């Protein structure tokens, strides 16, 4: 086989079956791909898969939202997300996909996938902006409490990420704040602003307010994981609410014929799941963190992203990107 992808089946809100449906879709869509599927062997073997292209790693334990990820690493359990990352560290697969606990993703990445520079990993999400392009939001939930140096590393990782995937020569870096002025923000943001501005290797464009997140003013928007997670979920929630209200209006006013094409466009544009979920930056091999509620389509899209990464293609090659 040309490539191997590791898929963690545990940790999904919809159970391992939803992830296994995604694994089946990957095998059907990409005949050159083989899979290493991690999870409960009994459940995996019951699924309708082409097992001639599947290696199973038995790891029946998972990290729930109520568990301490660090403790879970050393409790003696066979946790699927850690087992998958240990396998990925061997360098025989092009990447890993998981819908598991974000904290466990970070803990596993630090344990098994750190680069020689020992950079703290962060989670990046690709968000559509109003200029027809995309903005990388870093961090989106892997690191809740961070310092200035870590935000600085996130900015550099986000810059390199957008430079590689979108061939942007000098990505614009923005810092999430409650005001555009350098004096706005909490202590962390104010100190980070000074460090960003002094780094001549960063194309720092200043503070970006929350209402300008999707404006296209920057290619990389940097923040701590708590703020980033709220931005991501609020943007998605607002998009869903607006589209839902438009559908209601169209039905009440009997304007479906005129409004539904617009609704279809917006649903594709703001379908965050179709954008490949989050990508862990700063590690040896790529890990894609899908949402806990993801469906099989997200697993197939994430696989496409990993293939593009391994072949140094644009991240959306082979994906239905209707905004091109």
Residue 60: how many CB atoms within 10 A of its CB?
A: 16
26 contact partners, CB below 8 Å, separation of at least 6: 5, 7, 33, 35, 299, 300, 303
Q: Looking at the domain assignment, is residue 321 inside a domain?
A: no
The tokens describing 193, both together, are: 């602003």
Q: Looking at the domain assignment, is residue 69 inside a domain?
A: yes
233/294 same-domain check? no
Torsion of CA 174, 177, 180, 181, to 10 degrees: -110
Which pLDDT value is given to residue 49?
95
Q: For residues 125 and 146, what is the distance between their CA atoms, to the nearest angstrom?
A: 18
Query: Collapsing DSSP states into helix, strand and coil, what is residue 132?
Result: coil
Tell me which of 240, 269, 298 is where a domain ends: 269
129/206 same-domain check? yes
Give how many domains the chain has, as a whole number. Answer: 2
110/131 same-domain check? no
182/57 same-domain check? no
Range list of H helices, 124-147: none
Which pLDDT value is given to residue 138?
95
Which pLDDT value is given to residue 319?
54
The torsion region of residue 206 among left (phi > 0), alpha (psi -120 to 50) and beta comes to left
Strand partners, 6: 36, 96
As to burial, measured by CB atoms within 10 angstroms (0-12 exposed, 13-18 middle, 19+ buried), residue 75 is exposed
Q: For residues 207 and 217, what is the distance between their CA atoms, to the nearest angstrom?
A: 10
265/147 same-domain check? yes
β-strands 33-39, 122-128 pairing: unpaired
204/233 same-domain check? yes
Which pLDDT value is given to residue 322?
47
126/265 same-domain check? yes
The tokens describing 291, both together, are: 């949402």
Q: Looking at the domain assignment, is residue 322 inside a domain?
A: no
260/138 same-domain check? yes
68/133 same-domain check? no
| CATH classification at residue 43 | 3.40.718.10
Q: Looking at the domain assignment, is residue 74 inside a domain?
A: yes
Which pLDDT value is given to residue 276?
46
Which pLDDT value is given to residue 278?
87
Strand partners, 122: 281
Per-position pLDDT tens, the chain of length 324: 689 999 999 999 999 999 999 999 999 999 999 999 999 999 999 999 999 999 999 999 999 988 999 999 988 899 999 999 999 999 999 999 999 998 999 999 999 999 888 888 999 998 888 888 889 999 998 888 899 999 999 999 999 999 988 889 999 999 999 999 999 999 999 999 999 999 999 999 999 999 999 899 999 999 999 999 899 888 878 887 888 888 888 888 777 777 878 777 776 666 655 554 689 999 999 999 998 888 888 899 899 989 988 887 765 555 555 445
Which pLDDT value is given to residue 194?
97
Residue 79, domain extent? 3-114+283-310
128/219 same-domain check? yes
Which residue's entry shows tokens 């598991």?
100
Q: Looking at the domain assignment, is residue 315 inside a domain?
A: no
């Amino acid at each position: 086989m040309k490539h191997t992808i590791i898929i963690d089946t545990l940790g999904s809100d919809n159970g391992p079956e939803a992830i296994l449906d995604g694994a089946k879709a990957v095998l059907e869509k990409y005949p050159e791909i083989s899979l290493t599927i991690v999870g409960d062997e009994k459940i995996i073997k019951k699924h309708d898969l082409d097992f001639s292209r599947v290696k199973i790693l038995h790891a029946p334990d998972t990290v729930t939202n109520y568990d301490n990820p660090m403790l879970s690493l050393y409790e003696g359990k066979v946790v699927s997300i850690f087992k998958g990352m240990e396998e990925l560290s061997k360098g025989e697969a092009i990447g890993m996909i998981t819908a598991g606990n974000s904290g466990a993703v970070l803990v596993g990445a630090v344990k098994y996938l750190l680069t020689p520079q020992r950079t703290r990993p962060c989670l990046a999400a690709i968000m559509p902006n109003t200029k027809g392009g995309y903005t990388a939001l870093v961090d989106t939930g892997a690191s809740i409490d961070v310092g200035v140096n870590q935000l600085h590393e996130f900015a550099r990782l986000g810059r390199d990420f957008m430079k590689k995937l979108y061939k942007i020569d000098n990505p614009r870096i923005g810092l999430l704040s409650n005001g555009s002025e350098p004096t706005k923000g909490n202590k962390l943001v104010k100190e980070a602003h000074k460090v960003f501005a002094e780094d001549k290797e960063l194309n720092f464009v200043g503070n970006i307010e929350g209402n300008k997140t999707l404006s296209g003013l920057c290619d990389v928007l940097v923040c701590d994981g708590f703020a980033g997670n709220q931005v991501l979920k609020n943007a998605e929630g607002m998009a869903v609410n607006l589209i839902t209200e438009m559908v209601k209006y169209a039905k009440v006013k009997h304007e479906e014929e005129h409004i539904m094409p617009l609704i279809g466009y917006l649903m594709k544009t703001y379908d965050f799941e179709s954008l490949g979920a989050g990508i862990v930056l700063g590690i040896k091999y790529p890990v894609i963190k899908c949402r806990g509620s993801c469906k099989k389509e997200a697993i197939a899209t994430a696989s496409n992203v990993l293939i593009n990464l391994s072949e140094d293609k644009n991240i959306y090659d082979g994906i239905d990107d209707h905004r091109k």
